[in-house]
A and B are shown apart, each in its own frame.
Chain A
Amino acid sequence: TMMTVRDALNSAMAEEMERDQKVFIMGEEVGDYQGAYKITKGLIQRFGPERVRDTPITEAGFAGLACGAGFMGLKPVVEFMTFNFAMQAIDHIVNTAAKTLYMSAGTISCPIVFRGPNGAAAGVGAQHSQCFAAWYMSIPGLKVVVPYDAEDARGLMKAAIRDPDPVIFLENELLYGESFPISKEALSPEHVAPLGKALVMRPGSDVTLVSFSKMVGECKKAAEELAKEGIDAEVINLRCLRPLDRDAIAASVRKTNRIVVVEEGWPQAGVGAEIAAMVMEDAFDHLDAPVERITGVDIPMPYAKNLEDLALPKVADIVRVAKRVCYK
């Protein structure tokens, strides 16, 4: 069976709303408009305006409101039309949602999912094209989920909603319409994917390609290219950046002795920087080549098509760098 990421997210939310009355959705255009990207399509018709709340364009207001509702035991699923706009609300995400459990000695929890598209879309310019993964994964108290395909989207969304902690759920606009095969198991309403566990998408023995979200697809394509040249790449889909499955990364490096981390975000203090440090800590003796990072170019996103193309990692970049660490 095939399923789009959009339908995977939509069905996962609908099932969780069916399962638990305390789950509700709020955000800009989630109701009558059916979602800016149609992720909440049909939900207001099915669950009513009490549980699918259209908000004004006031991110700080509704993110803070969701925190208060979470404190009281409700389970808000908050859509940011894009994570660029979540910057308006980051005070509540960091200072309210992430820290209150710790500050209250475990007495007040904040079971929220903050979700929406993150990272570069296409041709939308600098203020709408950035990856916030590294920001959120640095915050203790948050969990950060980064699905790639439909199976990830369903299993991880259901897990995120059921999880009693605040979860940042970073989707990718360009993947919403993409169809992926989905297993019968993942279609079960009871199926949830574990948070904090990476997935080996393709086993290999020569080099490890680690990535998340859209870049997993690019790594898979790169692995196919590399196979033609006799290099057997292992592709790891992180699925979750906090907790980060460092054991899975280290285990792969112990096997391949080489690692390339691929992300769309900026290089400095990025996801790849963190993983490079982890590999040093966990598997230094197993490395036969320096850890390589492939990242977005260290600039605000340009608008012009030719320059935008140059600003983001491509399959050819992954192939080139993978060969470099294999000394080929």
Chain B
Amino acid sequence: MMIDVPIPFVAHRIDPPSQTVETSKAEIVDMFTQSYLMRRLEIAADVLYKGKFIRGFCHLYDGQARSISHWSPYDREAVCVGMEAALNKDDAIVTSYRDHCTHLGRGGTPLEVMAELMGRIDGASKGMGGSMHMYKRDAHFFGGNGIVGAQASSDWSPYDRTPIGAGLAFAMQYEKKPNVAVAMYGDGAANQGQLFEALNIAALWDLPLIYVCENNHYGMGTAIAKSAKSPEYFKRGDYVPGLKVDGMDALAVKQAIKFAKEHCVSGKGPIVLEMDTYRYHGHSMSDPGSTYRTRDEITGIRQERDPVERLRKLIVEHELLDTAEIKAIEKAQRKIVDEAVAAGKASPEPPVENLMKNMNQIMDNVVVRGVDSEARTHLTEAYGVK
């Protein structure tokens, strides 16, 4: 089936793709199912964080106006599911610390996310990474980065990890693979110098690199008008083509990523996609998200543009499923999340010996020192190990 996306693409130095997207019932239902799961997962993470099951930072990805810690509450489920609809698992992704949904999108399980948030052995990184550091090597998902802009990804934070994405793209080109690398970042990181360094190299070398700027309009609590001289992020690659996309519309995202992948794989070099999104939550769990914007703004976006609701409307309008079937999907996803939460809570903490594992791959001659001079390599009573 063909569906027209309502908000036109805006292009920079390239002809935009068609607004008519080829899709299917199965794809739309799957997108709804996935994004609903992501939404419920972030809501559950919110509850767990408030219940003190999750430590440190937590940045939620969903779009509720609730308060969370430093995970990435945002409403960008559409970016995740739309992106995955146009990529395969041989394409590589590196993202910011707002990585829970990206992990799911790459085929990670809800338990891997929940257990990682709680620092348990069944987590995506066996409890070693935490909220911001989930990885899935077999699906070419390279994290989860806490340094904004190093991937070239994240809505704030001082670091940018985009050069890593350029490196993934370099490897695709070097090994002559028909794949792309996606480097995700936010409007906050979009001002980082590394991002421009990597884009310059990517353009010089025609690397198959898609920059995905998730513009949720706030880097932490700073509105883009206060941080970016030009908030037209899709144009900020200058000599690199760009596209502004409704990031709350999964089908628009899919169309844009498909278009960008074709551009990159044909040898034309990198492209910058700006995904116009929003973050319902505060920046993180410690930010109520209400001091720098109005309630009406948040409510308005939720009513008009919520990505999960839009997919639901699409299903209803095109009569793809009846109400009972939709309810059944929602119920099933909530059950998956409930089970993941329970299994995460039940998952053991990592064994003490993992403390000193994986510092290097080759540990010949490597001595890991503990807290005192006698605690070396072999753990002593200092760590409760006999």
A60 touches B163 (CB 8 A): yes
Taking CB atoms, residues of chain A closer than 8 Å to B169 are: 68
Per-position binary interface string of chain A over residues 240-251, scored 1 when its CB falls under 8 Å from any chain B CB and 0 otherwise: 100111100000
Taking CB atoms, residues of chain B closer than 8 Å to A143 are: 360
* Selected contact of B164 from candidates A24, A56, A67, CB within 8 Å: A67
Interface residues of A in 32-60 (CB under 8 A from B): 50, 53, 55-56, 58, 60
Taking CB atoms, residues of chain B closer than 8 Å to A65 are: 163-164, 166-167, 170, 198, 201
Q: Does B191 contact A (CB under 8 A)?
A: no
Taking CB atoms, residues of chain A closer than 8 Å to B163 are: 60-65, 67-68, 92
Taking CB atoms, residues of chain B closer than 8 Å to A197 are: 365
B360 touches A165 (CB 8 A): yes
Q: Does B357 contact A (CB under 8 A)?
A: yes
* Selected contact of A72 from candidates B127, B171, B204, B205, CB within 8 Å: B171
Taking CB atoms, residues of chain B closer than 8 Å to A194 are: 364-365
A100 touches B365 (CB 8 A): no
Of A101-109, A145-153, A256-264, A304-312, the one touching chain B: A101-109
Least distance between A67 CB and chain B CB atoms (Å): 5
**Also in contact, A105 and B171, with CB within 8 A (given A56-B204, A58-B200, A196-B366):** no
**Also in contact, A101 and B360, with CB within 8 A (given A60-B193, A70-B167):** yes
**Also in contact, A108 and B365, with CB within 8 A (given A56-B201, A58-B200, A103-B129):** no
A109 touches B361 (CB 8 A): yes
Least distance between A259 CB and chain B CB atoms (Å): 17
Q: Does A96 contact B (CB under 8 A)?
A: yes
Q: Does A74 contact B (CB under 8 A)?
A: yes
Q: Does B38 contact A (CB under 8 A)?
A: no
Q: Does B125 contact A (CB under 8 A)?
A: yes
Q: Does A317 contact B (CB under 8 A)?
A: no
Q: Does B371 contact A (CB under 8 A)?
A: no
Q: Does B242 contact A (CB under 8 A)?
A: no
Taking CB atoms, residues of chain A closer than 8 Å to B170 are: 65, 68-69, 74
Least distance between B99 CB and chain A CB atoms (Å): 12
A64 to B160, CA, bound (A): 10
Least distance between B160 CB and chain A CB atoms (Å): 9
Count A-side interface residues using an 8 Å CB cutoff.
52
Interface residues of A in 220-260 (CB under 8 A from B): 240, 243-246
**Also in contact, A163 and B362, with CB within 8 A (given A68-B167, A68-B168, A69-B170):** yes
Name the residue on A nearest B358 (C-beta).
A106
* Selected contact of B168 from candidates A58, A63, A71, CB within 8 Å: A71
Q: Does A164 contact B (CB under 8 A)?
A: yes
Q: Does A27 contact B (CB under 8 A)?
A: no
Interface residues of A in 197-236 (CB under 8 A from B): 197
Q: Does A141 contact B (CB under 8 A)?
A: yes
Taking CB atoms, residues of chain A closer than 8 Å to B205 are: 53
Per-position binary interface string of chain B over residues 80-93, scored 1 when its CB falls under 8 Å from any chain A CB and 0 otherwise: 00000000000010
Taking CB atoms, residues of chain B closer than 8 Å to A313 are: none
Least distance between B359 CB and chain A CB atoms (Å): 5
Count B-side interface residues using an 8 Å CB cutoff.
55
A106 to B193, CA, bound (A): 30
* Selected contact of B128 from candidates A105, A163, A164, CB within 8 Å: A105
Q: Does A73 contact B (CB under 8 A)?
A: yes
Interface residues of B in 160-214 (CB under 8 A from A): 161-172, 174-175, 181, 193-194, 197-198, 200-201, 204-205
Least distance between B57 CB and chain A CB atoms (Å): 14
Least distance between A163 CB and chain B CB atoms (Å): 6
Name the residue on A nearest B207 (C-beta).
A65
Interface residues of A in 56-102 (CB under 8 A from B): 56, 58, 60-74, 91-92, 95-96, 100-102
B162 touches A64 (CB 8 A): yes
Taking CB atoms, residues of chain A closer than 8 Å to B128 are: 102-105
Per-position binary interface string of chain B over residues 345-380, scored 1 when its CB falls under 8 Å from any chain A CB and 0 otherwise: 000000000100111111011111000010000000
B171 touches A69 (CB 8 A): yes
* Selected contact of B361 from candidates A95, A164, A282, CB within 8 Å: A164
**Also in contact, A108 and B366, with CB within 8 A (given A68-B164, A69-B174, A143-B360):** no
Taking CB atoms, residues of chain B closer than 8 Å to A163 are: 362
* Selected contact of A101 from candidates B147, B174, B359, CB within 8 Å: B359
Taking CB atoms, residues of chain B closer than 8 Å to A102 are: 128, 358-359
A56 touches B359 (CB 8 A): no
Interface residues of B in 69-84 (CB under 8 A from A): none
A61 touches B358 (CB 8 A): no
A117 to B70, CA, bound (A): 40
22 example contacts (A-B, Cβ-Cβ < 8 A) are as follows A53-B205, A58-B197, A64-B161, A68-B163, A68-B164, A70-B167, A71-B167, A74-B174, A74-B175, A91-B147, A92-B163, A92-B164, A101-B360, A102-B128, A108-B135, A108-B137, A109-B361, A143-B360, A165-B360, A165-B361, A195-B364, A195-B365
Given A71-B142, A102-B358, A141-B359, 20 additional A-B pairs, CB 8 A? A58-B197, A62-B201, A64-B162, A64-B163, A65-B201, A67-B163, A68-B181, A69-B168, A69-B171, A73-B171, A105-B125, A106-B357, A106-B361, A107-B137, A108-B135, A143-B360, A165-B360, A194-B365, A240-B365, A282-B373
Interface residues of B (CB under 8 A from A): 92, 94, 125-129, 133, 135, 137, 140, 142-147, 150, 159, 161-172, 174-175, 181, 193-194, 197-198, 200-201, 204-205, 354, 357-362, 364-368, 373
The 6 closest A-B pairs by CB, nearest first: A68-B167, A64-B163, A61-B197, A196-B365, A72-B171, A58-B197
